[in-house]
A and B are shown apart, each in its own frame.
Chain A
Amino acid sequence: MRGPLLKIYKTLHTWVGLIAGMALFIAFYAGALTMFKEPLSRWATPEQWGAQHWPSENQLPDLIKQLITTQPDAAKSFTLHLQQQENTPAAFTWRQGRESTLTWYANLSGDNQLEIHSYEPSAMADLIDRLHQTAGIPGDGHHAVGVYVMGVISVLYILAIVSGLIILLPNLLKDFFSLRESKSPKRFWMDAHNLVGITSLPFHIVIGLTVIVFAFHDQIYDGLGKMAYGDRPLFARPADAPTPSQYTLEQLLPPDQLVAKVKNIAPGFIPRELMYNGVLSARASVRIAGEDPEHMLRGANRGFVSLDPYTGEITDKDYLPGHESGWVNIVITFFALHFGSYGGDPIRWIYFFLGLGGAFVFYTGNLLWVESRRRRQRPHGETVQQARNTRFMAAATVGVCWGCIAGISSAMVAGKWLYPVGTPVNDWYIWVYYSVFLASVAWAFFRGAGRAAVELLWLCSLSTLAIPITALLALLIPNSPAWFHTSADLLLVELTALVAAGIFAHMAIKTRRRLENAAPDSVWGETGYTKKVNPEKGFSANPESPAVT
């Protein structure tokens, strides 16, 4: 019974892994970066917005009244930021409807009046988040097309996880934690693939299942609505109050009193933004978003609580960290386990490395498939050619994986230098990413997997190194178009990029050295870098035949 079953699950693991692998690599690499979306968004914001007059707490009530009476869009909805940050140009921001990305902001002018400007927030961090959610697959709808594609990919991903586990089960104790470098390079990579896969198994199961929900929750709600709930509404909606607001703007509670009401019941909650909605209507509400490192959060880095801005009555604490009721409390866990939004920065770094580890598992998985399909050279035979599909897969894997990394780094750098050129910088991010990504994939097919792996690793290293170099130049050159934020956590962006550039360079050198010793009968032996033939193999390469085909 066991043998045939293992064979079936091995085949399943190979094929679902192969189909899903590259999209998952992009989603995981971008996802690892998304753990630091907020600092990255601040990092990508030009510094000229820093020097604004930030209103003091006792000026806020008067400014809110001014804002609501003079700005009809803001009266519908606006956000009050409690914390001055690089990507927060002013205390008040709002948009003209949900579709518009153009954002308005109001700050204090010299004579205590509101000063109103518009700006286009940097989309760099959003681009990385979008790559994380869609793997870069274009197309929009109610959700991005890529989100649905990733939902299907995640179904394959779960099949790959379970089948991988089933294959390993019989030898789990023997193979676990063994890295057999001596036997063969393939055995070593297989052990590494298994080790990282098994140790991060719970993380992978959580990610796979949550992504299926993120993609298909609407369809599941519809199905459950029909099958179980009949005509009942699935979500309670507040009834329309028949009368307009009974309060006047004068009765609006000042922000510090609203915050105090929340602090009363949740002392650990750190409020960050107050989102006012329909202040002039009967349904006036203010939603306070904030952090709480002690509890799981519903959002990627925020929990929420809603109040009546006139009475200060708490109207919805379903998503207030630590105060979620029954079912929500369980559901929050699923969200928080995907977002890593519990435990603050240590958990974020753990998720960062789990994400990179996932990317490693998908990359090695594809290369192991290539290796296992290798056509062996027979002693004294002609130089064998590797099958077209293994060469194709090797080139695609190398191009997509390293192209994605080089593309993100290039876009981050380009955004800083091209900001003053005139074209909205947010368009540049997307163009630079896709140009570098697609060119890398084309390059990998043109040069072959072996040579392209070395060259694209150098591209990754140099484009990532350009991040801290840009910071250095911004510091040294007066009036440079690039900028350099000096907050400690943003210096970590530069430092992380520097370390990553070093790691990519190291990998490039190691890969090159490996290729020099590669057996000619593999996709890695077709580079022309081969110095000597592995003597253990017992055959010699034919010097007449071209090594590259």
Chain B
Amino acid sequence: MSELNSAAATSSVRTRKYAPVQEDWISKTLAGCILGIALAFIASSLFALIGPGGLETPNKIQFNMWIVPPIWMTIFSLVYLFRSGLRAWLWLGSFTVVGAIVLVLVRTLGGE
């Protein structure tokens, strides 16, 4: 019983401390869909460039293609865990920007 009470107390403290989870259907869905695709392409491209075998290994492109949907759908299906659509856009957006910069750097340094 006391555990239950303390759990309730903690959760009420949490509720006071943080804003509750917002539904934000449209902004979260767009973030998961669009930024999810962007991140999946960036991750797969980085794997293609600096993963084992690099760009030259025959047939590796098939594997690179196959890993795009799982990465995309992992982000898309978990995007609703963000506390708000804005946070989803900020977090995923930052990752996308950082990822894009790394990708450009890798391609430039790789002598493309």
Contacts and interface: CB of A to CB of B under 8 A. Distances in A.
Chains A and B form a bound pair = yes
Contacts of B78: 162
A328 B59 contact: yes
Contacts of A327: 53, 57-60, 62-63
Contacts of A4: 20-21
B97 interface: no
A234 interface: yes
Contacts of B60: 326-327
B68 A331 contact: no
B68 A220 contact: yes
Contact of B63 (A11, A223, A232, A330): A330
B30 interface: no
B9 interface: no
Contacts of A51: none
Given A158-B73, A213-B69, A217-B65, A318 B59 contact: yes
A236 B41 contact: no
A161 B73 CA distance: 11
Interface in B24-74: 41-42, 44-46, 48-49, 53, 55, 57-66, 68-70, 73
Contact of A228 (B23, B55, B59, B70): B55
B76 interface: yes
Contacts of B62: 327-328, 331
Contact of B48 (A224, A318, A331): A224
Name A's interface SS: helix
B66 A228 contact: no
B21 A155 contact: no
A158 B60 CA distance: 25
A122 interface: no
Interface in A82-137: none
Interface residues of B, number: 36
Contact of A9 (B46, B63, B69, B80): B80
Contact of A159 (B48, B61, B76): B76
Interface in B63-94: 63-66, 68-70, 73, 76-78, 80-81
Interface string A489-504: 0000000000000000
Interface string A198-233: 000000000011001100110011011001111010
B112 interface: yes
A5 B66 contact: no
A229 B44 CA distance: 11
Contacts of A221: 61, 65
Contacts of A212: 69, 73
A543 B41 CA distance: 64
A8 interface: yes
B80 A12 contact: yes
A140 to B, nearest CB: 24
Nearest to B62: A331
Q: Which of B57, B69, B81, B107 has the most CB of A within 10 A?
A: B69
Contacts of B107: 228, 230
Q: Which of B23, B46, B103 gathers most chain A CB within 10 Å?
A: B23
A229 B77 contact: no
A325 interface: yes
Interface of B: 11, 14, 20-21, 23, 41-42, 44-46, 48-49, 53, 55, 57-66, 68-70, 73, 76-78, 80-81, 103, 107, 112
27 contacts: A1-B11, A4-B21, A9-B80, A12-B80, A155-B73, A159-B77, A163-B80, A209-B73, A213-B65, A213-B69, A220-B68, A224-B44, A224-B64, A224-B65, A224-B68, A227-B42, A227-B103, A228-B45, A230-B112, A234-B61, A325-B58, A326-B53, A326-B60, A327-B57, A327-B59, A327-B63, A331-B63
Given A228-B48, A228-B64, A326-B59, 16 more contacts: A1-B11, A5-B21, A5-B81, A8-B80, A208-B73, A213-B69, A224-B44, A224-B45, A224-B61, A227-B42, A227-B103, A228-B103, A229-B48, A230-B112, A328-B62, A330-B63
The 4 tightest CB contacts between A and B, nearest first, are A162-B77, A228-B45, A228-B48, A4-B21
